[in-house]
Amino acid sequence: MPIARTKQPKTSGASRVQSTAPVGVDWTFLTNHSHVLVCLAQDPEARLRDVADAVGVTERAVQRIVADLESGGVLTRRRDGRRNQYSLHLDRPLRHPLESHRTLRDLLHGVLGKDFHLSTRTTPTARPRNPVP
């Protein structure tokens, strides 16, 4: 499933995604880290440029977030040719004490709902490579 995004004019280096919030309200319930995780759960082979467009931040911000998530043990990045593939560790507990009784799996299921196939997101799938003659 491709990452859902809306194309908006760029503002200070980051694209703006269309919000359902009332005009003048600029906060969301989830952090950009959560938004990146949702995007990577939907497409483990997503380009960070596409994730940045979907989240509404710069590509560099997404790179920092992915580095944070990797160092926190939430995801693993695997190089596959010229692309990266991301494997989420769904059984990791959420970090804040108020939510630490829940896992990443719970968060993603809550956001993505029944369309999220949890069993397919824990390990990367191998893509066939073309042999070099």
Instruction: Please name the residue that has the structure tokens 């694209």.
Output: 15
Do 85 and 45 contact (CB within 8 A), yes or no?
yes
Do 30 and 111 contact (CB within 8 A), yes or no?
yes
The pTM for the full model equals: 0.74
pLDDT in tens, 45-91: 999 999 999 999 999 999 999 999 999 999 999 999 999 999 999 99
The DSSP code sequence of 73-84 is TSEEEEEETTEE
Residue range 17-33: mean pLDDT, rounded: 80
- The pLDDT mean for the chain works out to 81
Residue 130: pLDDT band by 50, 70, 90 thresholds?
very low
pLDDT in tens, 27-39: 889 999 999 999 9
Query: What's residue 22's pLDDT?
Result: 74
